């Protein structure tokens, strides 16, 4: 209930003290026909990452899943992942955290992971019936509660008010989704990946070269020895600076 969580957000809020996975709950709500709902949890005990990886979700994080019904084909859904990354980066920067975006779905501080995003969808070839954007942000978590290679808002800038932080996050996301032409320019502005020499591992090949641009709906353009290569977000298993 929105009132209980105390958010004046452009989405309806369903809040849980503890949950398996907010994305799983969001899928249930989507199947029931919900739209513009955000599932939020303090603690997430069965969080999921991409490609069957696990997401660690101790109490103090912002574990959130947005249920959306945009009028887009499934191929455009990665743009919403980019929008979420921009929204997280802006909210983090406002909190004093020098965050930037790693393609395709992370927000980092000095190479350490502050946030991961998991976008899921269902629908026909020409139109999604729903999209779930799962956003996990390490907010008021520190020390041994953080997994290796991770950082948090608390470690970077001290404890923050999670309600205010979440409110800014949702406002920024709402602004971006209603003005989609602003997503790629904002993403480029905050990208840690563009200009970097990277190795992108996909199921079928490794693409090595300088990341030179992002194209709609989330395609990374890499300048390789054999010319320009384009990698779709969904095909990326790992991206490492080399
Ligand atoms: C992601 O996957 O980064 C997407 C994570 C999405 C989590 C949110 S939380 C709300 C919603 N509900 C869910 O069940 N999921 C979403 P991937 O790129 O595959 O990265 C996963 C990897 O990140 C793991 O294998 C760990 O190495 C690392 N990791 C796990 N927990 C972390 C944490 N709390 N902070 C930083 N890194 C973490």
* Domain limits, the chain: 2-189, 197-241
* CA 51 to ligand 1 centroid distance, Å: 10
Q: Where does 197-241 sit in CATH, by number?
A: 2.30.30.100
Cβ(81) to ligand 1 under 6 A? no
Task: Return the exposure string of 55-93: e unless at least 16 CB atoms fall within 10 Å of the residue's CB, then b.
Answer: bbbbebbbbbbbbbbbebebebbbbbbbbbbbbbbbbbe
Query: What is the number of the ligand 1 atom nearest to the C-alpha of 61?
Result: 34
ipTM of the complex: 0.99
Q: How many CA atoms lie within 13 A of 21 on its CB side?
A: 17
Residue identifier of the C-alpha nearest atom 30 of ligand 1? 55
217 contact partners, CB below 8 Å, separation of at least 6 = 75, 76, 77, 78, 79, 82
CA distance 224 to 210: 7
Q: Give residue for tokens 């709500």.
A: 29
Per-position pLDDT tens, the chain of length 242: 444 566 777 899 999 999 999 999 999 999 999 999 999 999 999 999 999 999 999 999 999 999 999 999 999 999 999 999 999 999 999 999 999 999 999 999 999 999 999 999 999 989 999 999 999 999 999 999 999 999 999 999 999 999 999 999 999 999 999 999 999 999 999 999 999 999 999 999 999 999 999 999 999 999 999 999 999 999 999 999 99
CATH classification for the domain delimited by 2-189, as one of 3.90.420.10, 3.30.930.10, 3.40.50.1220, 3.40.50.620: 3.30.930.10
Q: Give the Å distance between the CA of 201 and the centre of ligand 1.
A: 18
User: Which positions ≥6 away from 227 have C-beta within 8 Å?
Assistant: none
Radius of gyration of the chain (CA): 17
φ and ψ at residue 13, rounded to 5 degrees? -110, 130
């Amino acid at each position: 209930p929105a009132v209980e969580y105390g958010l004046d957000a452009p989405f309806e809020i369903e809040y849980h003290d503890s949950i398996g996975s907010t994305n799983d709950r969001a899928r249930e709500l989507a199947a029931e026909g919900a739209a513009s709902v955000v599932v939020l949890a303090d603690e997430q005990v069965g969080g999921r990452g991409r490609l069957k990886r696990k997401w660690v979700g101790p109490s103090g994080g912002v574990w959130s899943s947005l249920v959306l019904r945009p009028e887009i084909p499934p191929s455009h859904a990665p743009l919403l992942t980019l929008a979420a990354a921009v929204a997280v980066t802006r909210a983090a920067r406002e909190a004093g955290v020098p965050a930037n975006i790693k393609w395709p779905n992370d927000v980092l501080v000095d190479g350490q992971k502050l946030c991961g995003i998991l976008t899921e969808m269902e629908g026909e070839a020409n139109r999604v019936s729903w999209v779930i954007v799962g956003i996990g942000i390490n907010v008021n978590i520190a020390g041994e509660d953080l997994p290796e290679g991770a950082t948090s808002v608390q470690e970077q800038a001290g404890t923050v008010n999670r309600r205010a932080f979440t409110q800014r996050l949702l406002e920024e996301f709402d602004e971006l989704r209603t003005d989609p032409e602003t997503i790629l320019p904002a993403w480029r502005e905050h990208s840690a990946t563009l200009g970097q020499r990277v190795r992108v591992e996909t199921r079928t090949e490794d693409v090595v070269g300088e990341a030179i641009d992002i194209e709609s709906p989330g395609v990374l353009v890499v300048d390789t020895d054999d010319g320009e290569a384009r990698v779709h977000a969904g095909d990326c298993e790992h991206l490492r600076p080399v």
